[in-house]
């Protein structure tokens, strides 16, 4: 990971990392699922690993949990080398997408299972199970069997069972994947609430970009077993450092050009057509360096050619090719002489589309909403599916 791709907030302070991976490699035959990964996850944070299927995120989670042994590298938990320790000897619990509840046990006994294996007995079991069920809002469900619960309730039981032992780290492998959209969104907020209350480090694996941005303190966007970018959700979304991140984390409009230096405090990118766009000045960019300049669709406003635009905004002339109604907004697609299609979103305020198909318009956005990616940075394609060895990568 280059300096440009590093977390904008800096690395965890010494002693602040509860999980550390040092040059971790995991190979399945000739396929490298995790490729020399260095990562520090801070105590008490909600950390997400995001990426397409086969990018290495689940394999990384399994290595942290002790379910997979790394081919190379070191795994540390709270500063202690646990690389060779089996899962049951690590102070880590896991919630899987399948929940893994015992169908013959009721909710109380499912949650109490881990405590009893640790020889906790009597009123201490009742107290801790009661606290765990209260945490997940299932205090009246203790005598029910898993088959009598909804999917969301089963997921809460799995959470309570994982949290009742007070692990240092809770691993969550796409735990919301089996839920319908409405319940999934509710559980995203519930997960964040629970994590805030217990203060335990949550490490969450997902391929859902919106989900990761909703609940995470930091996100690692992964591809081909490596971290493409690591940072807070707003940093990764607003300032993607590679083409892959820009296109995987939401929609992006990308145009090709070269960096032309700094004018009046703003960086300038000259597109291949000669059009000049203002961007944030970046001392790491060299004059004449080939770049991609991007803007998110929701940052663009659409204007008729007759409208006057405020000075200092970036503008492109375009022709509307199609419009799609998506409920809360309209999504527009445009053709420009700068190459490629551009898209924009416009809030559905009841006035209908802002332009007709074939109409010539001006697209405008603010310079601070423009990001720049050096050409050659993150030009890899999405990761291929890993072979079916154990759990999916």
Least confident segment among 8-12, 71-75, 263-267: 8-12
Res 379: pLDDT: 52
**230, 209, 212: which is closest to 221 by C-alpha?**
230
The mean pLDDT of 77-103, rounded to a whole number, is 91
- Rg value, the chain, Cα: 24
Which residue in the block uniquely carries the two structure tokens 């707003």? 234
The mean pLDDT value of the chain amounts to 88
**In the structure, what pLDDT confidence band is assigned to residue 310 with cuts at 50, 70 and 90?**
confident
| CA 147/CA 329 separation, integer angstroms | 40
Task: Give the full edge-to-edge strand order of the sheet including 276-280.
Answer: 276-280, 266-271, 253-263, 290-295, 370-374
- Looking at the domain covering 251-374, what would its CATH class be? mainly beta
Task: Tell me which DSSP letter residue 2 carries.
Answer: -
**DSSP states along 280-292:** E--TTSPTT-EEE
CA 245 centroid distance within chain: 10
SS3 26: strand
| CA 238/CA 85 separation, integer angstroms | 39
In sign, the C-alpha dihedral spanning 146, 151, 155, 157 is: negative
CATH of segment(s) 3-243: 3.40.50.300
Least confident segment among 55-59, 85-89, 129-133, 388-392: 388-392
- Please, where in the chain does CATH 3.40.50.300 lie? 3-243
> Contact at 8 Å (CB) between 386 and 52?
no
- Please, where in the chain does CATH 2.40.50.100 lie? 251-374
């Amino acid at each position: 990971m280059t300096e440009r791709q590093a977390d904008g907030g800096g690395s965890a302070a010494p002693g602040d990392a509860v999980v550390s991976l040092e040059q971790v490699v995991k190979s399945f035959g000739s396929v490298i699922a995790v490729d020399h990964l260095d990562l520090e996850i801070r105590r008490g944070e909600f950390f997400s690993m995001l990426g397409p299927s086969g990018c290495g995120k689940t394999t990384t989670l399994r290595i942290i949990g002790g379910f997979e042994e790394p081919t190379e590298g070191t795994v540390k938990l709270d500063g202690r080398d646990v690389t060779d320790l089996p899962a049951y000897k690590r102070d880590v619990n896991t919630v899987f997408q399948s929940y893994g509840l015992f169908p013959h046990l009721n909710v109380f006994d499912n949650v109490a299972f881990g405590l009893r294996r640790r020889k906790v007995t009597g009123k201490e079991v009742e107290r801790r199970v009661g606290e765990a069920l209260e945490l997940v809002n299932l205090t009246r469900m203790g005598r029910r069997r898993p088959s009598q619960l909804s999917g969301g309730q089963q997921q809460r039981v799995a959470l309570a069972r994982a949290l009742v032992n007070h692990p240092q780290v809770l691993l969550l492998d796409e735990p919301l994947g089996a839920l319908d959209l409405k319940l999934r969104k509710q559980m995203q907020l519930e997960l964040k609430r629970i994590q805030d209350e217990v203060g335990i480090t949550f490490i969450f694996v997902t391929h859902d970009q919106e989900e990761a941005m909703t609940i995470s303190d930091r996100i690692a966007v992964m591809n081909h077993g490596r971290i493409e970018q690591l940072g807070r959700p707003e940093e990764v979304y607003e300032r993607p450092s590679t083409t892959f991140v820009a296109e995987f984390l939401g929609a992006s409009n990308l145009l090709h050009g070269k960096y032309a230096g700094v004018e009046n405090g703003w960086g300038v990118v000259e597109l291949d057509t000669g059009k000049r766009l203002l961007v944030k000045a970046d001392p790491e960019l060299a004059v004449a360096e080939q770049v991609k300049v991007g803007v998110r669709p929701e940052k663009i406003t659409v204007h008729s050619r007759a409208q006057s635009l405020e000075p200092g905004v970036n503008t492109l002339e375009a022709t509307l090719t199609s419009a799609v109604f998506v409920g809360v907004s309209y999504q527009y697609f445009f053709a420009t002489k700068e190459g490629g299609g551009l898209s924009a979103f416009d809030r559905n305020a009841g006035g209908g589309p802002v332009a007709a198909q074939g109409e010539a318009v001006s697209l405008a956005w603010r310079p601070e909403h423009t990001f720049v990616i050096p050409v050659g940075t993150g030009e890899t394609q999405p990761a291929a599916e890993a072979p079916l060895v154990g759990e999916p990568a």
